[in-house]
Amino acid sequence: MREDNANYVLKVEKLAIPGMPLLSFEVAAGECLAIEGPSGAGKTRILRALADLDPAGGYVFIEGAERAEVTASEWRRQVRYVSAEPAWWADTPRQHVVRHPELLRFERLAASLGIAREALDHPLAQLSTGERLRLGLARALADEPRVILLDEPTGALDPTATALVEELIRFQILAGRSVVLVSHDAGQVRRLAHKQLQLGAARVPAPARQVTGTHDPRLTGLAERWDKQP
Amino acid sequence: MTYHPLSILELAIAGLLLIANAGLSWGFRLGLEKTLLISAARMAAQLGAVGFILKFVFEQGSGALTALFAIVMIAVASWEALSRQRYRIGSGWQHWGLGTAALLFCGLTGTLYAVVLIINTDPWWSPRILLPILGMVLGNALTGVSLVLDTLTTATRRERNGIEAKLALGSTRFEAMHDALGNALRTAMIPIINSMAAAGVVSLPGMMTGQILAGADPIEAAKYQIMIFCVIAGTTALGILAAGIGGVWLLTDSRHRLRAERLIEVT
């Protein structure tokens, strides 16, 4: 199945996650979609399904190519899931990025997030939770994925670090990346997101800077369908 | 020197040692005498029974009986390899199928290699040669298969987040599981590598001892032992590799996702 509408980088049709209503939405190049909803509504599960880390039915396209049309590793190189708690397997941050151009970009990204250059060679256990969270973001962006799925990117950060991370996300959006953002911080959603996807009926959506999403009949329809859930 | 058959009286003299041990345990109130005597009785009964069954199988010289005995050996080996695992992979069928397939694979490969290509007996399935070799191959392979699966499943559970992080960054399932699989393979090969390194210096292997006691020339016994070590180590490695790769296969899916829900803790 091919989709020729190239205006949208990420196009999701009838994404079927067990226990959730079908989801359909689109994110254009240089656009940020915020997914909002109470804890347990399945925000992380949506991000993991988009990255094809968990099985889910329906269709997800990147520039017209469906998940099944490319290999799993190629898909996840383009659709990057950034966990709220990045996991590490080697001793130091630098050892997690092997190839040269990516390593240069990793160093630059880490610096832009306020991480000292020496910290890249410190044992991970000696770094703070906030440093590890920012390094996880730098590692995820080092190979320049097309679509970035951010799960609470500033959850454990102080206001200064939060501002640096938001600045980097804004740069990524300006560079034409598509961003899907999950955040508990309503102010952050207002600052970064162009449109919103509301899960559950518990909360009134916060007014976004550019409220294109809530005018999208597809999204409104989705929210109504969710309301009818028992 | 000739072979010296043991009489019942001589066996009883050997048994006296255990009776004396039991007496000491009773005297010092250690409470070990009951378990010790039961285990000793089990050992004597099991070995005696196996001796009679093997004698019967050897005398019949029947291919069907030999095959039946081999199947029972493989079934028992896979039970021993899998029953003490901390985690089960997938459904019971997948778990037992994986272990049994790995043991069947290396048991058959090793035994046929030794019997057909090296010893060249007539007929090739002669139970006197085939069954002891199968036993030695299985004995080592079951330790290996058991260790590789236990290490792999435990590492997957412990390093689940790291494996998923690698997958999220675009690794394939074998790239993401490379460290866990490599450690599991290394751990599983240690026992056979140790026993080869220590052979003759620290310990005299059981088969070689047996042949020497039975009156064989020590040089001939050593040659046999070298051949057996090569076959055992070679096929144990194959069985370990098959079980390890099969384990990764069952713990992940064709879209290179880690399926952690297939890892079930055995309570």
The reply to whether A124 touches chain B by the CB within 8 Å rule is no
The reply to whether A85 touches chain B by the CB within 8 Å rule is yes
Show the 3-state SS of B9-37.
HHHHHHHHHHHHHHHHHHHCCCCCHHHHH
Name the more confident of A93 and B29. Answer: A93
The pLDDT of B87-114, averaged and rounded, is: 92
Contact B168 A76 (CB under 8 A): yes
The reply to whether A18 touches chain B by the CB within 8 Å rule is no
Contact B169 A87 (CB under 8 A): no
The reply to whether A105 touches chain B by the CB within 8 Å rule is no
Distance of CA B55 to the CA centre of its chain: 23
What confidence tier does B1 reach under pLDDT thresholds 50, 70, 90? Answer: low
Question: Measured between alpha carbons, how far is A85 from B54 in angstroms, rounded to an integer?
Answer: 60
Strand partners, A35: A182, A197
Supply the pLDDT for residue A213. Answer: 40
Average pLDDT score, chain B: 92
Q: How does pLDDT run across B170-190, given as a tens digit for each residue?
A: 999 999 999 999 999 999 999
Supply the pLDDT for residue A222. Answer: 45
Supply the pLDDT for residue A214. Answer: 41
Quick one: which of B224, B96, B218 has its CA closest to B149? B96
- The answer to whether the peptide bond before residue B123 is cis (omega within 30 degrees of 0) is yes
pTM score, whole prediction: 0.85
**ipTM surpasses 0.90:** no
A17, A53, A75: best to mutate for the B interface, most B CBs within 10 A: A53
CB atoms within 10 A of CB B236: 26
The pLDDT of A145-165, averaged and rounded, is: 95
Show the 3-state SS of chain A.
CCCCCCCEEEEEEEEECCCCCCEEEEEECCCEEEEECCCCCCHHHHHHHHCCCCCCEEEEEECCEEHHHCCHHHHHHHEEEECCCCCCCCCCHHHHCCCHHHHHHHHHHHHHCCCCHHHHHCCHHHCCHHHHHHHHHHHHHCCCCCEEEEECCCCCCCHHHHHHHHHHHHHHHHCCCEEEEECCCHHHHHHHCCEEEECCCCCCCCCCCCCHHHHCHHHHHHHHHHHCCC
Question: What are the C-alpha distances in Å from B266 to residues A161, B92, B100?
Answer: 44, 11, 18
Query: For residues B133 and B114, is the Cβ–Cβ distance under 8 A?
Result: yes
Contact A140 B169 (CB under 8 A): yes
Distance of CA A196 to the CA centre of its chain: 13
User: To the nearest 5 percent, what fractions of chain B are helix, strand and coil?
Assistant: 80, 5, 20
Residue A59: CB partners within 8 Å, gap ≥ 6?
A1, A3, A11, A12, A13, A14, A15, A66, A67
A71, A89, A95, A96: best to mutate for the B interface, most B CBs within 10 A: A89
Query: For residues A150 and A169, is the Cβ–Cβ distance under 8 A?
Result: yes
Contact B165 A83 (CB under 8 A): yes
Distance of CA B57 to the CA centre of its chain: 22
Q: How does pLDDT run across A186-198, given as a tens digit for each residue?
A: 999 999 999 999 9
What confidence tier does A42 reach under pLDDT thresholds 50, 70, 90? Answer: very high
Residues of B with CB under 8 A from a CB of A: 159, 161-172, 179, 253, 255-257
Q: How does pLDDT run across A111-132, given as a tens digit for each residue?
A: 999 999 999 999 999 999 999 9
Task: Find chain B residues with C-beta within 8 A of A73's C-beta.
Answer: 170-172, 256
Q: Counting every residue, how long is chain B?
A: 267
Strand partners, B87: B265
Q: How does pLDDT run across B239-264, given as a tens digit for each residue?
A: 999 999 999 999 999 999 999 999 99
Question: Measured between alpha carbons, how far is B218 from B208 in angstroms, rounded to an integer?
Answer: 8
Task: Find chain A residues with C-beta within 8 A of B167's C-beta.
Answer: 53, 72, 76
Contact A83 B168 (CB under 8 A): yes
Sign of torsion, CA A118 A121 A126 A127? positive
Name the more confident of B5 and B150. Answer: B150
Average pLDDT score, chain A: 86
The pLDDT of B64-71, averaged and rounded, is: 94
The reply to whether A143 touches chain B by the CB within 8 Å rule is yes
In this complex, which of B159, B165, B256 lies closest to A72 when CB atoms are compared?
A: B256
Quick one: which of B97, B77, B98, B187 has its CA closest to B140? B77
Supply the pLDDT for residue A227. Answer: 41
Q: Give the minimum alpha-carbon distance from A19 to chain B in angstroms, rounded to a whole number.
A: 17
For residue B90, give the DSSP letter.
S
Contacts 24+ apart (CB under 8 A), B118-122: B118/B227, B118/B231
Distance of CA A92 to the CA centre of its chain: 24
Answer yes or no: is pLDDT of A210 > 90: no
Task: Find chain B residues with C-beta within 8 A of A180's C-beta.
Answer: none
The reply to whether A86 touches chain B by the CB within 8 Å rule is yes
In this complex, which of B166, B168, B172 lies closest to A89 when CB atoms are compared?
A: B166
